[in-house]
Amino acid sequence: MNKRNLLIISNRGFIGKSIFNSLKIYKDYSVYGLNSQNCNLLNLNKTKKTISKIINKPFTIIFLSTFGRFPEDNYSVFNKNIKMITNFLNSINKAFIEQFIFFSSTCLYGRPPKSLPIHENLECIPNSYYGLSKYVSESLIKLQLSCPITIIRIPGVYGELDNNKSIISNFISNINQNKSITIYDKGLVLRDYVYIDDIIKIINKSIYSKLDTTINIATGESIKIIDILNMIQDKLNIEGNINFINSGHTQFNMSFDITNLRNIFPKFTPTNINDGISKIIKIKSKII
């Protein structure tokens, strides 16, 4: 059986690196990776030169490159994200693309979203430059490609390689090091955080089935930030150095209806937050 050729862009960030490291061990795949160090997607000529050396046979593309909404969500973020996806689409031989997997964001539903729980049929009304860039990128991909397109929309993700940038890893690290933790507005907002292994499983299943759809990957079980913190403190048996601050901003909840995810992958069960936290604590204890 011929191997599937996979190109992961970018394979240097947390999610991309996690996917790259996991999929490259599969015998069914030949996995390639690009990132800002070896492919400047903001430069069309350099992108064409790099891509032409790789995509000269059928490929599945997993596109994760993005400029995020931190430290500032502005027009520059929008412009760079659109330029990257446009330059890439204009650099490939579309006849060689057998599947395109694009990592989008739940931000395109709006912050706050129009209604809860969030589902794939909810009208997209992005009210941020970052969210708008994802909405436009999705549209450009669908306009230019005729292959199966898998749009992945995800909320927060945590895992071994997140460099303490996820709220969960950050809480664990700060509690262990007795560093200050800031909780805004009593930590009462609801959030849904996804364990990285779940993302990898869904991507692998999507590749095998050449999935052509849009899916939100979430657990379907939102939890208060303060409850996440308390859960971590209980598991570590350490009381954190917590500062409660009033942000002065209107807070909003995020919850997801994952009926579509369950219908597409009926045997898939998301990792609940309790088990995910236990796994991260175990991994970090080995590192220490």
Domain edges within the chain: 4-157+196-216, 160-190+221-255+272-287
Q: Among residues of the chain, what percentage have pLDDT more than 90? A: 98
Confidence of residue 7 (pLDDT cuts 50, 70, 90): very high
The 10 Å Cβ neighbour count of residue 58 is 14
Distances (CA, A) of 176 to 19, 60, 243: 28, 41, 16
Task: Give one DSSP letter per residue of 246-267, joined into a string.
Answer: ---S------B--HHHHHHSTT
The pair of three-digit structure tokens given for residue 288, joined into one six-digit string: 């220490």
Contact 229, 174 (CB under 8 A): no
Which residue, among 111, 116, 117, 143, has the nearest Cα to 130 in the 3D structure?
Answer: 111
The pair of three-digit structure tokens given for residue 147, joined into one six-digit string: 């292959």
223-224 and 190-191 beta bridge pairing: antiparallel
Summarize pLDDT for 132-184 with one digit per residue, the tens. 999 999 999 999 999 999 999 999 999 999 999 999 999 999 999 999 999 99
Select 4-157+196-216's CATH number: 3.40.50.300, 3.30.450.30, 3.30.230.10, 3.40.50.720: 3.40.50.720
The residues near 126 (Cβ < 8 Å, ≥ 6 apart) are 107, 108, 109, 110, 132, 134, 135
pLDDT at 284: 81
pLDDT at 287: 61
The rounded mean pLDDT for the chain is 96
pLDDT at 285: 79
The 10 Å Cβ neighbour count of residue 71 is 6
Q: Which CATH architecture has domain 160-190+221-255+272-287?
A: Alpha-Beta Complex (3.90)
Summarize pLDDT for 190-216 with one digit per residue, the tens. 999 999 999 999 999 999 999 999 999
